[in-house]
Amino acid sequence: MSDEDRSIRAFLGDRGERISGTEADALVDLRLAGVSAFTAQGLPHRKRERWKFTDLRRLLMRETYEAARPAPLPARHADRVSALPAPRLVFVNGVLDEAVSDLGQSGADIVRLEALLGGDHAALADRLGETVEADHPMIALNAAWMADGAIVRVPKGVDAGRLHLVSVMTGREPVMAHPRHMILLEVEARLELVETVLGDGAGHFENAVTEIQVSDGARLDHYRHIDAPDGHVALDHLRAHVGRDAVYHGFNLAIGAGVDRTEATVRLLGQGGEARLGGAYLGRGRQHHDNTVLVRHEAPNCLSRQVFKGVLDGRAHGVFQGKIHVDRVAQKTDGYQLNKAILLSPRAEIDAKPELEIYADDVKCSHGATAGQIDTDALFYLRARGIPEHAARGLLIHAFLAEALEEIAAADIRAQYQAAIDAWMAAGGFDEETEA
Amino acid sequence: MTKLLDIDDLHVTVDGKEILKGLSLAIDEGEIHAVMGPNGSGKSTLSYVLAGREGYEVTGGTIRFRGQDIFDLEPEERSHLGLFLAFQYPLEIPGVQTNTFLRTALNAHRRARGEKDLDGMAFLKLVRQKTKALGINDDMLKRAVNVGFSGGEKKRAEILQMALLEPRMAILDETDSGLDIDALKVVADGVNALRAPDRSALVITHYQRLLNYIVPDRVHILARGRIVRSGGKELAEELEAKGYQDMIEQAA
């Protein structure tokens, strides 16, 4: 059996027969398309350009994942779940835990994907899949398995405030879940979506797809914090359509997790649209953080910014693949992209692939990528003032990440993320090399 | 009088090239010494090797500070002992607020002495007192360390750091270079304010100008990695009149 076949069998099994037979539901067509797209490709691996640095076949074939079963929220995560005073949806092993979710006074209309699968909300079900590409193997795998997710609609002109979306993977055996969320902001609607990705126990595998549509004049602020243990594999496929004068503003903080890959594709489809994607990734041990970002300018006068900062210690591996695509019609595009990484150890590694693809002639686009060590002159300066080396390094890392954190508009989220970063720094020595 | 700093027959190599070739210099408590020398004589090497910068290899001789050989001490340990180097080119550190930097440094010194950290309020009170005494604008505290500072502001910031840390020995590495007369006075006032029977200073400079404001007890001429002549403050004036070339040739 080939590696492709093995990966198809391991991750799909008899899913195809079951969803067309006894387990058929309202989204059977979408699911079957997923089954066939995944079967055609198997798990993506390093010979495919987009997965060159994140070889899912190698990373995911180390474990055997069972399909996750619903479980109660483990007590140890209760504090994290209730940390934000906001309406919240808590998914445990990919399924909504109604007991700990609390929608309170959310101005958004929220239903479960499960209800769509059962045949309710046909108008919403029709929109599922609008933003995703049909041939993406991991999105296809998600379609084959998706069981639950948040379907959030913010009506025209409504500011729905904040919504906290929590995902927890738990259990002693490695399990996988494929949540599918859809966030629809109607004209001039607003929402602040805060995601927290947690895990415990064995290394689990979460393969999420988040479909976002930000209609004309609407604004979505989207913060995501991955704080999972070492063996955890977190893939997120975010696809956003941004309309005229609409804003998508996202920030991704990746701390922990064995492997995470956040693929974000944002299409600017109307004049005056804006996409800001920021992120910070911190890795040590053998952790792997991948930010694969594509912003497509498909209308004139749009603005996009990508600002990512990484700190990698031990044998951690960072990946940044950032692309700005500017269509022929997208005149007056203002595009900016930056990825900077600090390598704290000689065995840490960053692969950065910044790309500009421009077909319009009147645009302003720039990008930059740097990787290096801590500035030894600055370090000496701080130490010469009596600041011990460890603290001086901490101060410089703090300062390095500040540029990315400034992209966060919400002050309380920024403070929370800063605290998480400080805890990460306090938890580990910035060892030049500890592992042989 | 006791020697606060005692450098004996110091040899220092940078990138395989010997820069200091048997430099000896002793500074007693309470004294201000000036080291003057032309470009390339080893002035900056002397200041960096005292502060403990990497890349300066001591191949011979000793440096004793407060009776202790500091050869094996880290830069922060030298700082805690009371050595302070005012940099010729202070580093810009984007993202670190001057306030945070100063407080972290001061508290590191307090911890090294077994004292408790100063809290934010107590620190602010202290730093305001220092800026006021030095005539430095408080706005500097909210800006990132040295980022966008003019040359004069950077040197003022160095003097503020010195005033906060109250070193036993301040080393000024060409602190006067590129300064207008106002900034020069701030620097001089800062150093003079710290004068005390148990504190000393080493003023490293190319020009005599600063020594009109910080009057040295002793002046040394550094050339080709060695002290070639020492004398009282009148030596600086003589140097100003004759120039380095003549003085060095005379000494040789």
Give per-residue pLDDT as tens, A289-316.
999 999 999 999 999 999 999 999 999 9
- The CA–CA distances, whole Å, from A354 to A30, A295, A303, A340 equal 33, 12, 17, 11
**Looking at the predicted structure, is the pLDDT value of residue A215 above 90?**
yes
Token pair for A278: 């920021």
The distance of Cα A127 from the centroid of its chain, to the nearest Å, equals: 21
Do A385 and B93 lie within an 8 Å CB cutoff?
no
Q: How far apart, in whole angstroms, are the C-alpha atoms of residue A101 and residue A148?
A: 14
Give me the pLDDT at residue A374, please. 92
Looking at residue B182, its pLDDT comes to 86
Q: What is the model's pLDDT at position A435? A: 34
CATH code for the domain in which residue B165 is found:
3.40.50.300
Q: Does B110 touch chain A (CB under 8 A)?
A: no
Chain-centroid distance, C-alpha B241: 26
DSSP state of B91: P
For testing contact with chain B, the best of A381, A398, A418 (most B CBs within 10 A) = A381
The percent of residues in chain A predicted with pLDDT above 90, rounded, is 81
Q: How many Å lie between the alpha carbon of A312 and the closest alpha carbon of chain B?
A: 19
> Which range is least confidently modeled, A16-20, A376-380, B11-15?
A16-20
**Which residues does B115 contact at the CB level (< 8 Å), separation at least 6?**
none
pLDDT recorded at residue A429: 57
Q: How far apart are CA A209 and CA A140, in angstroms?
A: 10
pLDDT tens, residue by residue, B102-137: 999 999 999 999 999 999 999 999 999 999 998 888
Chain A, nearest residue to B81 by Cα: A386
Which pLDDT value is given to residue A426? 84
Give the A:B interface size as CB pairs under 8 Å.
72
Distance from CA of B237 to the nearest CA of A (A): 32
Give the pLDDT confidence of B159-194 residue by residue, as tens digits.
Answer: 999 999 999 999 999 988 878 888 898 889 989 998
Say yes or no for a CB contact (<8 Å) between B87 and A377: no
Neighbour tally for A434: CB within 10 Å = 12
Q: Are A348 and A317 within 8 A, CB to CB? A: yes
**A402 in reach of chain B (CB within 8 A):** yes
Does ipTM surpass 0.90 in this model?
A: yes
Please tell me the predicted confidence (pLDDT) of residue B225: 95
A111-143 pLDDT per residue, tens: 999 999 999 999 999 999 999 999 999 999 999
Residues of B in contact with A378 (CB under 8 A): 91, 93
Percent of chain B with pLDDT over 90: 78
Q: Does B96 touch chain A (CB under 8 A)?
A: yes
Determine the pLDDT at residue B95.
87
Give the pLDDT confidence of B198-227 residue by residue, as tens digits.
999 999 998 888 999 999 999 999 999 999
pLDDT of amino acid B34: 96
Given a cut of 80, whether residue B250 has pLDDT beyond it is no
DSSP-assigned beta bridge partners for residue B32: B201
Q: For residue A396, give the chain B residue with the closest CA.
A: B96
Q: How far apart are CA A104 and CA A92, in angstroms?
A: 20
Give the residue from A287, A268, A267, A291 showing the smallest Cα distance to A279.
A291
Q: What is the domain partition of chain A in residue ranges? A: 70-374
Whether B133 contacts B123, CB under 8 Å: no
User: CA distances (Å), B113 to each of A180, A287, B77, B79, B125, in order?
Assistant: 57, 39, 11, 12, 21
- Which residues form the domain of B54? 3-251
Put simply, whether B147 touches A (Cβ < 8 Å) is no
Interface test with B, best of A309, A340, A385, A395 (most B CBs within 10 A): A385
Q: What are phi and psi of B211, to 5 degrees?
A: -75, -10
Please check whether residue A46 is in contact with residue A55, taking contact to mean a CB–CB distance below 8 angstroms.
Answer: yes
Chain A positions touching B95 (Cβ under 8 A) are 398-403
Judged by CB atoms closer than 8 Å, whether chains meet at B94 and A382 is answered as no
d(CA B81, CA B72): 13
Contact B165 A389 (CB under 8 A): no
Rg, Å, chain B Cα set: 18
Residue A198 near residue A226, CB atoms below 8 Å: no
Asked if A377 lies within 8 A of B108 by C-beta distance, the reply is no
- Nearest residue, CB atoms, A378 vs list B85, B93, B105: B93
The structure's pTM equals: 0.87
DSSP codes of every residue in A75-136? GGGHHHHHSS-S-EEEEETTEE-TTT-B-TT-SSEEEEHHHHHTT--HHHHHHTTTTS-TT-
Q: Is A378 on the interface with B (CB under 8 A)?
A: yes
pLDDT given for residue B1 in this prediction = 62
For residue A394, give the chain B residue with the closest CA: B96
A395 and B100 within 8 Å at the Cβ level: the answer is: yes
Q: What are phi and psi of B180, to 5 degrees?
A: -80, 175
Lookup result for tokens 């720094």: A425
Tokens of B22: 């048997």
> Is B76's CB within 8 Å of A389's CB?
yes
- Closest Cα of chain A to B92: distance in Å? 8
Instruction: Find chain B residues with C-beta within 8 A of A389's C-beta.
Output: 74, 76
Mean pLDDT over the full length of chain B: 93
B133: nearest Cα among B213, B212, B194, B200:
B194
Contact B85 A387 (CB under 8 A): no
Query: Which ranges constitute the DSSP H helices of A42-85?
Result: 56-60, 78-82
**Which residues of chain B neighbour A396 with C-beta distances below 8 Å?**
93, 96
pLDDT band at A432 (very low <50, low <70, confident <90, very high): very low
Q: Suggest the residue from B47, B77, B79, B154 to mutate for an interface test with chain A (most A CBs closer than 10 A).
A: B79
CA distance A384 to chain B (A): 5
pLDDT of B183 reads: 86
**Contact (CB<8Å) A387/B104:** yes
Residue A212 or residue A390, greater confidence: A212
**Chain A residue numbers touching B50 (CB-CB < 8 A):** none
Each residue's pLDDT tens digit, A72-88: 899 989 988 888 889 99
The residue type found at A415 is A
- Which residues 4-43 of chain B have a CB within 8 Å of chain A? none
**Which residues of chain A have a CB within 8 Å of the CB of B105?**
382, 385-387
Instruction: Map residue B199 onto helix, strand or coil.
Output: coil
In chain B, the number of structural domains is: 1
Question: Which pLDDT tens digit goes with each residue over A155-201?
Answer: 999 999 999 999 999 998 999 999 999 999 999 999 999 999 999 87
Is the model more confident about A37 or about A229? A37
CB B69 within 8 A of CB B62: yes
pLDDT in tens, A364-383: 999 999 999 999 999 999 99
The fraction of chain A above a pLDDT of 70, given in percent, is 98
Helices (H), A364-429: 376-384, 389-405, 411-427
A433 or B182, higher pLDDT? B182
Average confidence (pLDDT) over A255-269: 94
The nearest CA of chain B is from the CA of A131 a distance in Å of: 38
Cα separation, B60 vs B57, whole angstroms: 9
Cβ contact A391–B94 (<8 Å): no
* Cβ contact, residue pair B105, A382, below 8 Å: yes
Please tell me the distance in Å from B33's CA to the nearest CA on chain A.
Answer: 21
Mean pLDDT in residue range A192-214: 94
- Determine, for residues A399 and B51 on separate chains, whether the beta-carbon distance falls below 8 Å: no
B241 Cβ under 8 Å from any chain A Cβ: no
